[in-house]
Amino acid sequence: MFEGKHIVVGITGGIAAYKAAELVSQLRQRGADVHCIMTEHAAQLVSPITFGELSGNDVTVNMFANISHWDVQHIALARLADLFVIAPATANIIGKAACGIADDMLSTTLMATKAPVLFVPAMNTNMYENPIVQRNIRTLREAGYTVMEPESGHLACNTSGKGRFPKTEAILSEIEKALFGQHLLRGKKVIVSAGGTKENIDPVRYIGNRSSGKMGYAIARAAAMEDADVTLVSCTEELPVPEGVRVRYVQNAREMKQAMDALFDACDVAVMAAAVSDYRTKNESPRKIKKEDHDALTIQLELNPDILYGLGQKKQHQFLVGFAAETNDVIEHGKEKLERKNLDMLVANDVSQAGAGFNVSTNIASLLYRDHTMEQFPIMTKEELGRVIIRKIAERL
Ligand code: PMT
């Protein structure tokens, strides 16, 4: 994910310094070249050796220590960085950065960098809420730095409140956004449906399909990366909800229609990636059907509403995207669905191909547009395809 990216992690002297070890490890596991700078206070809390081992690079603490190469170290790291992350960021480093103080290795390197900077504050609630700290955070944001919100919960000082170091996943997501996000959907509301609907037969059985929700979740995540306000309408509770994304869980086609219809008027982009059952059971049994009562069983089905078609009918300013899961004549069927459902874009995937479609981590897709143009893409991860789809939507908004 972060291959080829140089990330400088500044660790300051808060008790959460030990949690930065996990962050550094995860960044390296995701392919980043990680360089750590620790303040003297941080080095009292966690040994620089830990960060050296986890990052695979020398750790810098002292500005005047011997270094193994010629470049002036703080300038070298400042130049090298694609991203600077201060985690944890104490009130002290926030104050120094906001006031332009550069009096040690970390603050000097920070001052010298032109890379984007992400602060991850972690401290006691009273310190965090101190008006001077809040003013300094505002100053940093106005200067173009990103400052994450700390979490609320139990704190090392044995109190509870706002100031906890965020979860590693949340920080990684902010890092991804800082490295790759282009704010393409800032101010836009995006709704995405994901997963396979389940139509009850009785309280213990249902008619479902093989959709895992991965494709829809990847699109929601990619939209959030581009600063959209994203709501997922999801049939699965198994997948982790992407950072910054709201989720509404639904079970069957009628619930999904209700949720999508309710959100549609106020949205700018709607993407139907869910696999919706075309039929539902006509007479759902309120009690478990017993085999002793039936030698053979016939379940009658009735048509479900076509949610996407309905959205196409009432579309005004919205950009509407549908999927087509096909096994033959993929493009022809896709074109027909694009027209009939009044879509702006259609993602056609041939679900009979290996590595495409249901319940795999990759997909092979063609994007069909309203102006009759088309783009075909090779196999890629659903995360990558999600980003492609969001970029293409943003280009056409
Ligand atoms: O979830 P994954 O495991 O990651 O798999 C991804 C996927 C294969 C489910 C996804 O890539 C995909 O193709 N989703 C659409 C599946 C589908 O229902 O296709 P369809 O060709 O039957 O329907 C066409 C479009 O109409 C779809 O956007 C569908 O959401 C929508 N639809 C269908 C039926 C219905 N009653 N209401 C609808 O809104």
CA distance 394 to 261: 22
The DSSP symbol for 292 reads: G
Ligand 1 pocket member 274 (CB < 6 A): yes
- The predicted structure's pLDDT at residue 267: 98
Atom of ligand 1 nearest to the CA of 307: 39
Helices 73-80, 105-112: crossing angle, 10 deg rounding: 50
Atom of ligand 1 nearest to the CA of 215: 4
- The predicted structure's pLDDT at residue 16: 94
How many A from CA of 289 to the centre of ligand 1? 30
Break the chain down into helix, strand, coil percent, rounded to 5: 35, 25, 40
Ligand 1 pocket member 19 (CB < 6 A): no
DSSP string, 295-306: SS----EEEPP-
Ligand 1 pocket member 307 (CB < 6 A): yes
Tokens of 92: 């002290």
The DSSP symbol for 65 reads: S
Q: How many C-beta atoms surround the C-beta of residue 92 within 10 A?
A: 18
Atom of ligand 1 nearest to the CA of 351: 8
How many A from CA of 64 to the centre of ligand 1? 61
- The predicted structure's pLDDT at residue 207: 96
Residue 356 Cα to chain centre, angstroms: 22
Query: Residue of the nearest CA to atom 13 in ligand 1?
Result: 325
CA distance 360 to 174: 26
- The predicted structure's pLDDT at residue 266: 97
Ligand 1 pocket member 308 (CB < 6 A): yes
Yes or no: say if 280 and 255 are a contact pair by the CB < 8 Å rule: no
- The predicted structure's pLDDT at residue 65: 65
How many A from CA of 194 to the centre of ligand 1? 9
200: which strand partners? 206
Torsion angle of C-alpha atoms 315, 320, 324, 329, degrees rounded to 10: 80
How many A from CA of 272 to the centre of ligand 1? 7
Active site residues: 157
Ligand 1 pocket member 213 (CB < 6 A): yes
How many A from CA of 270 to the centre of ligand 1? 13
Domains within the chain, CATH numbers bracketed: 6-180 (3.40.50.1950), 189-396 (3.40.50.10300)
Atom of ligand 1 nearest to the CA of 214: 4
Tens digit of each residue's pLDDT, the chain (397 residues): 899 999 999 999 999 999 999 999 999 999 999 999 999 999 999 999 999 999 999 999 987 665 555 455 667 888 899 999 999 999 999 999 999 999 999 999 999 999 999 999 999 999 999 999 999 999 999 999 999 999 998 887 778 888 899 999 999 999 999 999 999 999 999 999 999 999 999 999 999 999 999 999 999 999 999 999 999 999 999 999 998 999 999 999 999 999 999 999 999 999 999 999 999 999 999 999 998 888 999 999 999 999 999 999 999 999 999 999 999 999 999 999 999 999 999 999 999 999 999 999 999 999 999 999 999 999 999 999 999 999 999 999 9
Yes or no: say if 271 and 230 are a contact pair by the CB < 8 Å rule: no
Token pair 């070298």 in the structure block, residue? 76
Whole-prediction pTM = 0.87
> How many Å from the N-terminal Cα to the C-terminal Cα in the chain?
27
* Beta strands 205-207; 199-202: pairing state: antiparallel
Query: Residue of the nearest CA to atom 10 in ligand 1?
Result: 273
